Amino acid sequence: MDVSVDGLTGQVTVRYTDNDGKEKTVTDRLKLPSNVSNGMVITLLKNIRPDVPLTTLSMVAAAPKPRLVKLLISPEGEDSVSAGGSSHKATRYVVKVDIGGVAGVVAPLVGKQPQDTHIWILGGDAPSFAKSEGPLYGSGPIWRMELTSPDWHDH
């Protein structure tokens, strides 16, 4: 699946292969809010203060019928990590997808609710990405991505 979003016009183009192997193209126009975060979630997370209890962003969900969903981002706690002999604290955020509407009510009942994603951000003057655990697409498997040098301390 290939999805492109024109942030100025709201035009969303989805190219995908259907179950019969036929290539399809769907073009739709969505009214996009100013906080659409496709491709920028980690960058935006580095700029969220960990004392803010809830941050809401919008995202165009990649699907044959594109839809606007909300990302509900909350700090979950801190974990200790060390790199280069120094100890650091990483804020752990949970990112929940709010599908909204009737589809949002039905999604958990039919197994279509995307799993939560957990993202760790190292704080300080130059916040940086440390680790992520979650699906890379709606019904995908859980992936863990992390920096190779830090040592994580279980608590």
Question: Average pLDDT, stretch 34-45?
Answer: 91
Domain range enclosing 107: 39-152
User: Is residue 137 situated within a structural domain?
Assistant: yes
Query: How far, in Å, CA of 24 to CA of 44, rounded?
Result: 33
Question: Average pLDDT, stretch 40-47?
Answer: 91
User: Is residue 28 situated within a structural domain?
Assistant: no
User: Is residue 43 situated within a structural domain?
Assistant: yes
User: What are the pLDDT digits (tens) for 92-135?
Assistant: 999 999 998 888 788 777 877 889 999 999 988 889 999 999 99
User: Is residue 1 situated within a structural domain?
Assistant: no
Judge whether residue 143 has pLDDT over 90: yes
Check residue 155 and give its pLDDT.
Answer: 61
User: Is residue 67 situated within a structural domain?
Assistant: yes
pTM of the model: 0.84
